[in-house]
Structure 1
Amino acid sequence: MTKYARDEFDRVPETSTRQGVHRAVAESRGGRRLAPILAVGAAALVVGLVAFLFLPKLGLSSAGNTVAAVSAEQGGSSAAASPEPAASTPAPSTPAATATPSPSATPSDPPAPTAAAAAVDKTQPVAIFNGTTTGGLASRVGGTVSSAGWKLGTLGNWGGVPQQRSVIFYKGAAQEANAEALGELLGIQTVVDSAEFQLPLVVVLGPGFQ
């Protein structure tokens, strides 16, 4: 209870139609806020319905076209790739071709020494002359020539033009092979064709002969 006396404002009728101003303002603001939300929701519903009804039909046609294009590309690539294995098949035939021709080249070379050996005639007499100051050199070399199967001719000292090196003179082309064979035996590299000697083969031992 208050200590103040009651006045006319304390008497409020039970069936009064009055209401506060703030309630009306609040209701009007709430209605304004809900209107855009409802509009957006309605638009989203319409868009979803259209997408549900029409887009699957469009998607099937485009998907079919893409599947056909992909299958065509795969078929073309497989057709282009298929000839490659066929090109590699003749490779195993190469080893057989390389194995056969090589052995036939070598056997033709050996007959050359046999022909040169057949041309050597050791029955031709070999004259040996000492053109150095070493005594008995002609006899010593004659023993070497005789031991090799050659027929010895005249042995003695050299009385002709002094020679600077050892030389073998031969008479005619028929004695060339004999002169070369004697040069290999005695280590004399100089052989000369000369018609001044009546003997077929003449060995002149020059300075430095070992």
Structure 2
Amino acid sequence: MTKYPRDEFDRVPENSARHGVHRASLEVATRSLVPVMIFGVAALCVGLLAFLIVPKISGQDTAVNPPISHASPTAATAPGTAPGTKASASATPSAAPRTTAVKTPSPTPTPGSVVDKSTPVAIFNATGIGGLAAQYSATAASDGWTVSQTGNWTGAPQSVSSIIYSGPAQKANAEALGKLLNIATLLDSAEMGIPLTVVLGPGA
């Protein structure tokens, strides 16, 4: 007990837990942070569980549903089926499509490319050897040629035997007749007035 009389500052409970001027404010601040810390720890635990467990659950869901195959059921061979049976035959490809043959039209022969032995042929002897024109005439006639005239040559002297044909249309005939009579010289001229003219020169 003090000898001084009690005043308003002495009216403090004897069992008060406060000591000092700033102790009360510190206790209130500490007490208010506890719920915040508890909430933060709980949120952290929930986030950790979601990070670890949710991917596993979603992975199991995808594994349960395998991708659907679009293969035709008839294309696969049944297990245990021997080759050559109906099941394996269904997997074989269908027969190849038929191809239609296209007939190529034959080329139209151009004038002068076809031999026509009915064309009149005149044979003249320019060698002076008697009977030579008749001899060649018989050879041409026996091969199917039409000999329309034979005789002696009255034109300019000839150095070789030749066949004179009238225009490109008679070229094939002149070549065929030259092979038959062994005459290589062919002349294109319309002066003779005859489709084919054979002039027998020296060496015939």
State the TM-score bracket (shorter-chain normalisation): 0.3 to 0.5
Identify the structure with the greater helix proportion: 1
TM-score, normalising length from structure 1?
A: 0.41
